[in-house]
Structure 1
Amino acid sequence: MIDLTNKKILLVRNDNVGDLVCTTPSIEGLRKKYPNSQIDIVVNSYNFDAINSNPFVNKIYCYTKPKHKKSFLNKVKAAFGKLKILFDIKREQYDAVVIFRSGYSKSAELFSNITNAKYKVGVKDPKGKDKFSIHIEANHNKNEVEFCFDCLLPFGVNYDNENTFYFVEEYLFNKYTEYSDHILFHISSRIDENKYFIENYFSIFEKLNDKKILISAEPDDFLMAEELSNKFNNVFFIKTKSLHDLSGLIKNVKLFITLDGGAMHLAPAVGTKTISISGKTNMNKWYPWGYEDLVLQDKSKIANNIKPDLVVKKIMEII
């Protein structure tokens, strides 16, 4: 075992919100193993909320990806912001760097390569061009939470019932306390195979006509959400301003039903039971941590093929 007591450790998780949420148990485990070590992390502006106010990290390096900016000037500003972070990381003289990515990422390894760390952990480049000193095998039949702990095994960090974590400010929680006896449906997903059609929601809500139901959605699905809420007296559509705003709502409700996406990982991280209506996603790897038994997925890997009666049955088993 490599001992990192009183060492400087850099973690890198610069992809999506859900991925970073799945990393939080291992960060907690690392802190418990090395309470006096410096634990810093690199994230991006897109997933920053998933680590903001996390009690187990010392410093957060947050940069904006140039591809997320439209104008040339903003792309240049983003590029210079990233360069500054790389300079700051190089100057910090880290002892170990861990890339939490189950697929090789050249852009993530850049943050490792800029350091002179003795221990550099990551998944092997298929072309064999990476500079990691310790390679981690990515087992896609394991949940992402388990994979993140695999990345820390060389340092003696093991899973010990840690949960995913997402910090919700008190004002956001208080904003939605009136909905504590409601069921919340999040009806948006970006991928066609993960979408669930309005007819299925009609059928579900007809069978739940004695329940208090809320709907949340991304802007592309606002019209669908409004049509559903207008048809049923017990169904209400709430336009949350962001995923972070949505976290305050999710934390209050008694049950959350969602399609694949970041919100699916957000709910367990704030302590809310989560049913996932899943499509093409590999749910061995991405099931909401702690709620594997509440995953609904058809053999076709098309979410819309999941019968509404199955969704209703699962809901009634819980409430």
Structure 2
Amino acid sequence: MNWQNCKNILCIRPDNMGDLIMTAPAIRALKESFGAKITVLTSSMAKGIVNFIPEIDDAIIFDLPWVKTADIPDNEQFQQIVNVLKEKKFDAAVIFTVYSQNPLPTAMLAYLAGIPRVLAYCRENPYHLINNWVPDKEPYDFIKHQVRRDLDLVASVGAKTSNEDLHLEADDSLWMTVASKLTGIGVDVNKPWLIVHSGVSEKKRTYPIKKWAAAAKQLIEQGFQIILTGSTAEKHLTDELESEVGQGSFSAGGLFPLAEFICLVKHAPVMLSVNTGTVHIATAVGTPVVVLYAQTNPQHTPWNIPNRVLEFPVPAYLRSRNEVIMHVNKTVYSKPTALPTSADVVNAVNELISLRGLPAQQFHEIPNESQAIPAS
């Protein structure tokens, strides 16, 4: 099917904030190639980031019942969302997934809404549900970075972009407000500081607080102030970590709304974080990242930015029962991995500090199709 005349495209990315950020280059390719209006169907967890992604023209917020969400979806509203999509009269829909997700429930949503063209990866033959079908070979033949996976999907219908970087529109006019808040909690903004973001959306991604504290103390000894960021719900964690670290650390949990947080991250020389949406925010504003990376999905490392990825294992009792993820655990993550030490963390930060100002490059790269991760 020819997509050149598709001027009203629905992009479905019903996951978390970081997932939507990683899909933005593919959305950009659709917009640039077809001159289309782009509407995103995404979740309540990701809605906050929509206004910072310039390629998105409109958004529909709905928590789909086959995607993990904070609240139980309202099944009575499902028909309503079908009707909303019908009224929008989309020319085409693109379903973006990670390799462990089944696109067919989402494809049925597009089918019920009467969208004539539907593009997605799928393992089994979807017949009429996905009429622009790309057979999904991940993760059994190879694994691509999520950004590359999404870009390759839209490239199959002729959508390409010369700019494959992540990008968020940061409001630099907020810096004075951000700096004032930092000063208010005791930070000297004229002296070196770093961000440490330890909060996780899933318990299996947790890096031990004692090790966070040990690394933070060593960085403070080197002359850095440590700003402990987190959501309002994570303030108890940032307060606990501040207490554990002591002088030179500053709890900022819940202090910054999203726009201010993006501005803060943009001004940081380096961010130190677990693998969560904050990593992709940093990547999208050009801030180097050290990420304590739980061995969950290898597709989601920082993209096209100086970075260091320090992997650590997920306890057996917290591992997913999804068969696709279990395959990755048995292959990609089959070798035992020691928990990174505080020295490992500090060394990684220092390496990135020394590289600050050099051209960005990707230090931890997922092999592409020509550099396949073997299935066994």
Tell me the TM-score range normalised by the shorter chain.
Answer: 0.7 to 0.9
Cα separation, 1, equivalents of 2:337 and 2:198: 12
- Residues 79-129 of structure 1 show CA distances to partners (whole Å, capped at 9, x for unaligned) of 43x533321321333222110113223442233112433321112264857
CA gap 1:190/1:6 in 2 versus in 1, 3 angstroms: closer
**1:34 Cα offset (Å):** 1.9
Out of 294, 301, 310, the position equivalent to 2:344 is 310
Out of 84, 93, 99, the position equivalent to 2:95 is 99
Out of 177, 182, 187, the position equivalent to 1:175 is 177
- For normalisation by structure 1, the TM-score amounts to 0.84
Unaligned runs of 5+ residues in structure 1 are none
Cα separation, 2, equivalents of 1:270 and 1:188: 20
Correspondence 1:212 to 2:225: yes
CA gap 1:117/1:297 in 2 versus in 1, 3 angstroms: same
Cα separation, 1, equivalents of 2:31 and 2:126: 32
Out of 229, 235, 238, the position equivalent to 2:249 is 235
In the alignment, residue 29 of structure 2 is paired with which amino acid? G
In the alignment, residue 250 of structure 2 is paired with which amino acid? F
Instruction: Find the counterpart in structure 1 of residue 149 from structure 2.
Output: 147
Question: Percent identity over the alignment?
Answer: 19
> Is the Cα–Cα contact under 8 Å of residues 10 and 41 in structure 1 kept in the other structure?
yes
- Residues 154-212 of structure 1 show CA distances to partners (whole Å, capped at 9, x for unaligned) of 32123523222334455654432365842000011244442221221232123222112
In the alignment, residue 109 of structure 1 is paired with which amino acid? A
Alignment of 1:85-124 (within 5 A): 85-102=81-98, 103-124=101-122
Instruction: Find the counterpart in structure 1 of residue 371 from structure 2.
Output: none
In the alignment, residue 154 of structure 2 is paired with which amino acid? L
Q: Which moved more, 1:177-186 or 1:261-270?
A: 177-186
RMSD, aligned α-carbons:
3.1
Instruction: Find the counterpart in structure 2 of residue 57 from structure 1.
Output: 56
CA gap 1:243/1:107 in 2 versus in 1, 3 angstroms: farther
**1:290 Cα offset (Å):** 1.7
Residue aligned with 1:24, SS: helix
- For normalisation by structure 2, the TM-score amounts to 0.72
CA gap 1:4/1:17 in 2 versus in 1, 3 angstroms: same
What is the number of residues matched between the two proteins?
A: 311
**1:225 Cα offset (Å):** 2.9
**1:55 Cα offset (Å):** 2.5
**1:292 Cα offset (Å):** 7.0
Cα separation, 1, equivalents of 2:308 and 2:158: 32
Instruction: Find the counterpart in structure 1 of residue 358 from structure 2.
Output: none
Out of 267, 288, 302, the position equivalent to 1:288 is 302
Unaligned runs of 5+ residues in structure 2 are 183-188, 315-332, 354-376
> Is the Cα–Cα contact under 8 Å of residues 195 and 304 in structure 1 kept in the other structure?
no
Cα separation, 2, equivalents of 1:98 and 1:6: 12
In the alignment, residue 62 of structure 1 is paired with which amino acid? I
**1:29 Cα offset (Å):** 1.7
Instruction: Find the counterpart in structure 1 of residue 283 from structure 2.
Output: 268
